[in-house]
Chain A
Amino acid sequence: MNGAGASDLVLALVCAVVILTQRRARPGVALAAGLIGLAAAIGVLRFSGLVAMTGPNKFASLLSAVAAFPLLAFSLRYPASRVALHVGAAVRPLLVLVAAGVALNMAGVTAWGPALSLGSVLVMLATMAWRRQYVAALGALVLLGGMLATLAGRAGAVTGFNPVVMLHLGLATGLALLVAGTARARTATAN
């Protein structure tokens, strides 16, 4: 397993923890983490030498970009909404997001995925900053950093690091901080 595989394993583990801890209280967040975790788990196989998993890993990553991040952003922006609180409601926007995302991507609009996930992270950052949830805001910033590192790598800039590893670690750290930061705020509000 190379560095990309190891960092995908970290991301998959973080997602697994998010799913286990949030599945009852915040199924919208858990479902989004599930999609990201699926991509990461397939990535572990891919970067461990299972070349056949390259296509499925890219496809699952596409689904994460076009569906999981918008769902995560919506669930955190509107924590009292049906989408955030019921898995049966959370799965509904995914259908439309996946249909639009895959269709646009196949039609050559490949910027749709990165734009949507970047936009979602900016929404999360603004929401957390507005609510003064600084740990979660830091998580959104780390997510943003990871995504920008990938875009920089894709643009061919000499950045001195492996952008795929940076993305995986950025996602894992950012997601963990976001979920922990907002969960702590929920607990404080409840108390």
Chain B
Amino acid sequence: MSPIVYAFPVFLVTMGVEALIARRRGLAIYDVPDAVTSLQTGMLSQIAGVFARLLTFALYVAVYDRFAAGTWPTDNILLWGVALLLYDFCYYWNHRLNHEVGVLWAGHVVHHNSEYYNLSTALRQSSTSWVIGWIFTLPLAVLGVPPVMLATVGLIDLLYQYWVHTQLVGRIGWFEKILVSPSNHRVHHGQNDYCIDRNYGGILIIWDRMFGTYADERAVEPVVFGVKKPLASFNPVWANLHYWAELTGASWRASGWRAKLGVWLAPPGGWPDGPQPDFDAAGFRRFDRHTPTALRWYVLGHYAVINLMLAHFLASLDRLGMAQQVGYAVVMTAMMLVLGGLLEGRAWARSAEVVRLLALAGATLLPDWFGFAAPPGVRAALVAAALVSALWLMRRPARVVQAA
């Protein structure tokens, strides 16, 4: 079973604690639509990862089998440490090029398009960064790091980065001279001029200090989170695809094959032609569709149901055939699209949500749900929840929110 399934409860509890502390301190660091988008994007990346890993992990294993200099014994703790160090080094370069090359930024931008910064931002992960990202682990395969070691140190590196996505922890002295900390990672997520293309480290920040990409957080200039060209959407699928679409359009419009290819390899936003305008922090406004409070909580509640489905999906992978996996993935993705539409106040979303709820109620009549045979009590509760939700939603005006 995916280790992420075990981490879900920890993520949810810690986000709840963070939100409570922030509320007590009067800090507006959470926004429900933004957080739900982050969480749904994270879920989508887990779903995409199931299929992407079939390719990327197979490629790692194939390179390891054919080209490895040897095999590192897995019973030597020191070698695990070296593998983690090497992985973190490769991660630095992967992350840096994710920010410097358009086609890689297309896969990574999703992690940066939240305009808030909290633990949910850590889970806003990409579904497409694997397209080229896998090549950065190949040096480890050639050096002989076994696939199980790679998977483990990769997970350690990823999980370490969870806790640094918070505004509740300030500066922590000597620690952040060596390791990635909330303070120096806040800089990484900023769109202020001094934050651009800085602090790429995963666990160790020393790579940034070594390669000249380090910047300290400035007390006099608070970090403004997000990207210069905002996503302006709560749609988790669009969050993953918008920059791919932008590059495709730009490439289509470019004349000549070199220009067409060059679009994909240029830095995000293209090669600078001259001095860039300074970032105007005072003029920055966060994306807000003024989603009504009741609807925010409604979406959050239904997100929780999809979260349970994702946990079941990841836990059941061994028992599901490929067609069932794809079918289950499509169902969850469609559900997330509808919830994103509700948060944006899209006219189509209310009808789609009613259809989704009725389909959910209908699904309880099936003998089992992708191998899960729910007890009658659970089925009854699901039907009741779906019908009550549908009734509540139908009593609301068709266009439930106003655009900002």
Contact = CB atoms under 8 A, between A and B. Distances in A.
Interface of A: 52-53, 55-56, 58-59, 78, 81-82, 88-89, 91-93, 95-96, 98-99, 102-103, 106
A44 B67 CA distance: 17
B77 to A, nearest CB: 23
Contacts of B262: 82
Contacts of B138: 59, 98, 102
Nearest to B59: A106
A98 B63 contact: no
Interface in B123-145: 131-132, 134-135, 138, 142-143
Interface in B42-83: 58-59, 62-63, 66-70
27 contacts: A52-B70, A53-B69, A55-B69, A55-B142, A56-B69, A56-B143, A59-B63, A59-B66, A59-B67, A59-B142, A78-B258, A89-B265, A92-B101, A92-B265, A95-B103, A96-B103, A96-B264, A96-B265, A98-B138, A99-B134, A102-B59, A102-B135, A102-B138, A106-B59, A106-B62, A106-B63, A106-B66
B295 interface: no
A95 B131 CA distance: 11
Q: Which 3 A-B residue pairings sit nearest by Cβ, starting from the closest? A: A59-B67, A55-B67, A92-B265
B271 interface: yes
A89 B68 CA distance: 30
B358 interface: no
A147 to B, nearest CB: 21
Contacts of A106: 58-59, 62-63, 66
A141 B13 CA distance: 67
A33 B215 CA distance: 34
B300 interface: no
A89 B138 CA distance: 22
Contacts of A81: 258
A103 B62 CA distance: 10
Q: Which of A59, A92, A96 has the most chain B CB within a 10 Å cutoff?
A: A92
B258 A95 contact: no
Given A82-B271, A92-B265, A56 B67 contact: yes
B92 to A, nearest CB: 15
A95 B97 contact: yes
Interface residues of B, number: 27
Contact of A95 (B69, B101, B143): B101
A31 to B, nearest CB: 14
B342 interface: no
Contacts of B66: 55, 58-59, 106
A102 B138 CA distance: 10
B254 to A, nearest CB: 14
Q: Which of B58, B66, B97 has the most chain A CB within a 10 Å cutoff?
A: B66
Contacts of A53: 69
B104 interface: yes
Nearest to A91: B97
A96 B132 contact: yes
A95 B104 contact: yes
B384 to A, nearest CB: 50
Contacts of B264: 96
Contacts of B142: 55-56, 59
Contacts of B134: 99
A89 B135 CA distance: 18
Nearest to B70: A52
A89 B271 CA distance: 10
A102 B69 contact: no
B44 to A, nearest CB: 22
B271 A52 contact: no
A95 to B, nearest CB: 6
A71 B261 CA distance: 14
Contacts of A98: 135, 138
A49 B36 CA distance: 58
A59 B68 CA distance: 9
Nearest to B101: A92
Contacts of A58: 66-67
Given A99-B134, A99-B135, 13 more contacts: A52-B70, A55-B142, A58-B66, A58-B67, A59-B63, A82-B271, A91-B97, A96-B103, A96-B132, A96-B264, A102-B59, A102-B63, A106-B62
Contacts of A103: 59
A76 to B, nearest CB: 15
A102 B133 CA distance: 13
A160 to B, nearest CB: 31
A3 B261 CA distance: 41
Contacts of A99: 131-132, 134-135
A58 B141 CA distance: 13
A135 B74 CA distance: 53
Nearest to A78: B258
Nearest to A95: B132
A93 B132 CA distance: 12
A103 B55 CA distance: 9
Contacts of B265: 89, 92-93, 96
B53 to A, nearest CB: 15
